[in-house]
Chain A
Amino acid sequence: MFDTLEPSSLPPEDEALRSRVRALAAAATAARPADVRARSWQGFDADFSRKLGAAGLLGLTLPKAYGGGERGPFARFVVVEELLSAGAPVAAHWIADRQSAPLILNYGTEAQRQFYLPRICRGELFFCIGMSEPGSGSDLASVRTRAERTAGGWRVNGQKIWTTGAMHCDYMIALLRTSGSAEDRHAGLSQLIIDLKAPGITIRPIVDLTGDAHFCEIFFEDVDLPADALIGAEGEGWKQVTAELAFERSGPERIYSSVVLLDAWARHLQHIGRDDPAVRALVGDFTARLATLRAMSIACTARLAAGESPVVEASLVKDLGTAFEQHLPVAIGDDLAAHPDEPVSDELYRTLTYVTHVAPSFSLRGGTREILRGIIARGMGLR
């Protein structure tokens, strides 16, 4: 079962990107303590994203004609892996590079491609994802925010929530109801590219439990958009979103959220010289799981590279990956506190605290555990 997930390896030409990314990431993170690096996903640094763009490390999966690297998902895997394991600030370009650009390439008009893609590749245009609403989280098909046709284009009314990075972004790709009602479920949904500077839009950051503000609520009051705001076909929003989620769920980002903490802890053990059988077993367990998850994520990336949309496989890797990411702070906290007489640096303690508090979000963002398991069950022929 699930034989499509086969071991695969990173092509040498993509591996060759590693040293370039590593140098840039090292420069960007040199002055940042581990608890700041642990905020890799939340670290908004437009300068750094532009540097990545200038180095040709964004839009790697896009054709050269649009400023891309004309490589493939494996190249992106290498770049993302390096950025996340260094704890580099990726928030600015993160979503545009991962989701919006492939979506625009696949479904956009030629004019849309030419306008957005080169700017994304240069690290100049930042995107956010407008799927969730106060009443629609797991049940995405129930979105109520509407876009109505006007003489010149579309008028949007409603509200989005939990939109990561919206306060810094240029555009949102929103899933909206363009016909029918929430009862029509998958029919009547469309995706629109919304210029976040358009009149009628209010963006309010939401502070999270760690004190950070990285996601937002967004209100749309008679927001007028041009006709070419529609991306893809009207009414095809559900299909497009499903394909987009395969990009969102399969990458190495679903394994590495706690890796800065893992490394900080390993350095602590090495520094203090604690190397008993119990801690060896714990380190070994983490290492074996990390190696296996990485191989699974590469296997999933190979499906993307083959032009497939591995929705079920990506769900499988994401659920297992986020369970690992969430297990790390629990087990590392237990280990450190099991040795109360051992000095722990403030930096390591703050990193542990941050990752512990934010860890519940790992299995929420991008689709909850229960929803992913439902998708896997469907893939097993149970639904």
Chain B
Amino acid sequence: MTDFLDPFERMIAALFSPAAVRAAERGEPDDRAWSELAASGFLDALVPEDAGGAGVSFADIVPLWLVLGRHAVPCPVGETMIARALLAQAGRAAPDGPIAIAAQAPGAAGRVIGAALGRHLLVEWEGNLYLAAVPGEADGGDRELAASVRWDSEAATPVGPIVPGGLRRAAAVLRAALIAGAADRLTTMTAGYANVRIQFGKPIGKQQALQQQLAVMAEDMVAARIAAHIGGAGSFPPALAAAATAKSVASGAAARVAAIAHAVHGAIGISEEYDLQLYTRRLQAWRLADGSESYWNRLLGAERLAAPSGSVDFVRTALAPA
């Protein structure tokens, strides 16, 4: 299924080293990285073959998004994949360059992840998609690469209709996969650190208290990954229940995973020069982006309560893995 996964991971690792991620965060993104990505064809992975894309299934996209999370990729790569797929679905040509995505009303300000590096914004409003220009500047010192974005319906290009909520659902599955990928990297880093950091004459990983915390971290990480796969198991854009499950579980895990990663690392994890923070800061941002766990839980709960079936039947029929 994933002969393209290894080449993709190698490319992403080469383009987005921790140094490159930091440069992007300083407002000095590497334009060549984007050109190389665009030339690779991966940005059109979700675009059907007859529309000039790679025609990769939604389920097979999720592993690519996990890779983006594992490397703390600062540019809106997954967002651009979603945007280009939706534009192709609408029979529209996609603009060059990074595209951020959001569901928000015209005129209202919303924080959009990746907007600081995006040139365009694909936005959903009242069941329709619009393509708008974004200022393209980070606004604030938080290095999240999110920007507060406003779009103007007069100046935007109407793209066409979308399943209501579809864009935000696609974004939620992307965030879930990014969280799971970053959590995977953090779990490996943290277990590795626990094996080399010596206190009281032995590696801290030999302390049972830390082993128990790391086991919990691994459980959360695996749950987030499986939930992201549930998000990608059906149609694109995903059904509400699938997106909600992915984002609820991944967002719930994100804060705990970040907390344990920092707890085990001690002070070094707080320092800028140590890579841990590249991943933990993104975990926190992705947790909140496109709806936190409570947001999606409310929607999923309403759907569940409206169903006459029992709980197991509900998850079995609406939320089975691919």
Residues of A within 8 A of B229 (CB): 7, 295
Q: Mark A265-300, 1 if CB is under 8 A from B, else 0.
A: 010011000010101111111111111111110110
Looking at A256, A289, A298, A382, which has the most chain B CB atoms within 10 Å of its CB? A382
B303 to nearest A CB, angstroms? 8
Q: How far is the CA of A370 from the CA of B216 in the complex (A)?
A: 11
- Of the residues B212, B222, B296, contact of A288 by C-beta under 8 Å: B296
- Give chain B interface residues in 101-128, CB to chain A under 8 Å: none
A347–B314 CA distance with the chains assembled, in angstroms: 23
With A and B bound together, what is the CA distance between A288 and B252 in angstroms?
A: 10
User: Total A-B pairs in contact (CB under 8 Å)?
Assistant: 181
Bound CA–CA A374/B210 (angstroms): 10
Q: Are B311 and A7 in contact (CB under 8 A)?
A: no
Q: Say whether A221 faces chain B, with CB atoms less than 8 Å apart.
A: no
How large, as a class, is the contact surface on chain B?
Answer: 35 or more
Q: Is the CB of A281 within 8 A of B321?
A: no
Judge if B73 is at the interface, Cβ distance under 8 Å.
Answer: no
* Given known A-B contacts A279-B301, A280-B298, A383-B206, A295 and B218 have beta carbons under 8 A apart: no
- Neighbouring A residues of B308 by C-beta, 8 Å: 270
- Specify which of A269, A275, A379, A381 is in contact with B195 (CB 8 Å cutoff): A381
Interface members, chain B 276-322 (any A CB < 8 Å): 293-294, 296-302, 304-305, 308, 310-316, 318-322
Which of A5, A8, A9, A283 interacts with B305 by CB under 8 Å? Answer: A283
Residues of B within 8 A of A290 (CB): 311-312, 315
Q: Mark A202-238, 1 if CB is under 8 A from B, else 0.
A: 0000000000000000000000000000000000000
Question: In the complex, which of the residues A284, A295, A382 contacts B321, with contact meaning CB atoms closer than 8 Å?
Answer: A295
Question: With A and B bound together, what is the CA distance between A284 and B301 in angstroms?
Answer: 4
Docked-complex contact A376 and B244, CB < 8 angstroms: no
Which residues in B have their C-beta under 8 angstroms from that of A292? 223, 226-227, 230, 245, 249
For the complex, is B221 an interface residue (Cβ under 8 Å from A)? yes
Instruction: Give the CA-CA distance A382 to B208 in the complex, in Å.
Output: 10
Query: Quick check: A2 and B218 within 8 Å, CB to CB?
Result: yes
- Complex Cα gap A65–B202 (Å): 54
Q: Is B129 an interface residue (CB 8 A)?
A: no
**17 A–B pairs (Cβ distance < 8 Å), ordered by A:** A1-B188, A10-B320, A85-B312, A275-B302, A284-B296, A287-B245, A289-B248, A291-B227, A291-B315, A295-B319, A295-B320, A320-B219, A374-B211, A374-B212, A376-B214, A380-B218, A383-B211
Listed from nearest, the 6 A-B pairs whose CB atoms lie closest are A284-B297, A284-B301, A280-B301, A283-B301, A284-B300, A377-B211
